[in-house]
Amino acid sequence: MPRSRQRRAPLTHPEAADIELLDVLHALSDPSRMTIVRILRAEPERACGTFPVDVAASTLSHHFKVLREAGLIHQREEANRRLTALRADELQVRFPGLLDAILAAAEPTEPAES
């Protein structure tokens, strides 16, 4: 048996009540992960490979794990894809206004009215 124990991850997500603020802040302090979350805010669900983040697949996978364990995203299996969604509603209950404020702050720097 070719040591078959991989991708065995049952895709665990923390309970909404167990989401830690510092984990959320840390997760969002990385450019790639912030990009992922910003994209997810606009779209309901999206496959891993479809994010315009220019890193290796394994690195991307790592970022999803960090985001998932921080409680920011939810992932579900669909065929051989993994669909990712933002846990916006739960986050809103846990930390009211937090995600909105952070994502608003992440806008490209307002052009300042002419």
Q: Please give the residue ranges that form the binding site for DNA (CB under 7 A).
A: 2-9, 26, 29-32, 47-50, 55-66, 75, 77, 79-82
21 lies in the binding site for its own copies (CB under 8 A):
yes
Among 29, 58, 80, 114, binds its own copies (CB under 8 A): 29
Question: Edge-to-edge strand order for the sheet containing 73-78?
Answer: 46-47, 81-86, 73-78
Choose the contact partner of 96 out of DNA, its own copies, none; CB within 5 to 8 A by kind.
its own copies
Answer for the pair 85, 96: CB distance below 8 angstroms, yes or no. no
| d(C-alpha 73, C-alpha 103), whole Å | 14
Question: x/- site string to its own copies, residues 33 to 52, per CB under 8 A?
Answer: -x------------------
Size of the site for its own copies (CB under 8 A): 21
- Structure-block tokens of residue 9: 């991850």
Among residues 30, 13, 10, the alpha carbon closest in space to that of 87 is found at: 13
